Amino acid sequence: MEIISRKGKAVKYGVSKISVSEWVNFKKLSVPISSRLCKRVWWNNKCYKRNEDNNGCVPQIPYPNGKPEIPGDRSFFKHSTARFSLSGNKVAYFSNDYTTNCCEVVSDLRYATGLTWIKINQYFSIGSPAERKIYWYPLCVRLQKGTIILDLTDRSLSFLETVARLGGWNSKEQLLEEVILNKDKSAYKETQEISIAVHGQGFQAICYPSARLPIDVNLPERNLVVFDEQCIIRGSC
């Protein structure tokens, strides 16, 4: 077997070796999965500086820096080099659970070691530093019917097993530990190789498990990265 570096080349090599017939099968199997996911509500949070008028229909100043924007009509799509992004191109991130979304985007929760439910409750309690300095403006959306999503959390889809086998890992679990659920930024580039390949095959979004959940409770773990702005259904302010 060809020796493959574990730093960035293994995932790229693995997805490049997926056959045309395997891609066709992944897409076919993803249709019913995508249909279910399109019916879910997806959350996106952002924080703003606390001021006298926190009305979501008037311009606010993003926290800590940024141009004024209307919270209730903000853009979800941003240039990103984060997990499962498209090498700096615009993507949008969501979670299918509000608390999961908070664990992903609130810095004090995102980078907490051994995050617990008590820590989450304390952070959002009345009078906490977070409440005094900023406020969170959550928005939820749905996806257009027919959006094609690769769901890495669905056990009926063997995509990760295939990448692990072709990329040189011993198992899907090892790939999950070393790349998908790796909290270190060094793993971002490898997850991006999956997004680049998947997007190139016509998928419009990827669901992936959250690496930021509290250690003492079970929460819905799906995060969602969307590549196509036309897939988003949102209400107006």
Note down pLDDT in tens along the chain; length 237 residues: 333 444 445 899 999 999 999 999 999 999 999 999 999 999 999 888 777 777 888 888 887 778 889 999 999 999 999 999 998 899 999 999 988 998 898 888 888 888 999 988 888 776 666 666 677 889 999 999 999 999 999 999 999 999 999 999 999 999 999 999 998 888 999 999 999 999 999 999 999 999 888 888 888 889 999 999 999 998 755
Closest CA to 140 of 92, 212, 205: 92
Residues forming beta bridges with residue 44, ordered by sequence position: 139
What sign has the CA pseudo-torsion 44, 111, 109, 53?
negative
Using CA atoms in the order 156, 162, 165, 167, what is the torsion angle rounded to 10 degrees?
-140
> Cβ distance 139 to 8 under 8 Å?
no
Strands in the chain per DSSP E? 42-44, 47-49, 78-79, 90-95, 134-136, 139-143, 149-151, 205-209, 222-226, 232-233
User: What is the rounded CA–CA span in Å between residue 193 and residue 108?
Assistant: 28
Structural domain boundaries in the chain = 9-233
Residue 232 tokens read as 């988003």
Side chain identity at 27, as an amino acid letter?
K
Give pTM, 2 decimals. 0.89
Residues forming beta bridges with residue 72, ordered by sequence position: none
